[in-house]
Amino acid sequence: MIIALITENPHSFWLSLGGVLLVAELLGAGGYLLWSGISALLVGLLSWIFPMSWEWRCMLFAVLTIVTAVIWWYWLRRRQQQPDSRGDEHLNQRSRQLIGRRATLNAPIENGSGRIELGDGSWRVQCDQDLPAGTHVEITDVQGITLIVKAV
Q: Using one digit for the tens of pLDDT, what is the confidence trace for 35-77?
A: 999 999 999 999 999 988 889 999 999 999 999 989 988 888 8
- Asked if the model's pLDDT at residue 1 lies above 70, the reply is no
Mean pLDDT of 89-107: 81
For residue 81, the model assigns a pLDDT of 74
Terminal CA-to-CA distance of the chain, rounded, Å?
Answer: 84
- Prediction pTM value: 0.51
Strand (E) or helix (H) holding 66: helix 54-81
Q: Using one digit for the tens of pLDDT, what is the confidence trace for 99-138?
A: 899 998 888 999 988 888 888 888 889 999 999 988 999 9
For residue 57, the model assigns a pLDDT of 92
Domain ranges of the chain: 2-81, 94-151
CATH entry 1.10.10.10 includes domain 94-151: no
Q: Where are the beta strands (DSSP E) in 73-120?
A: 102-104, 113-118
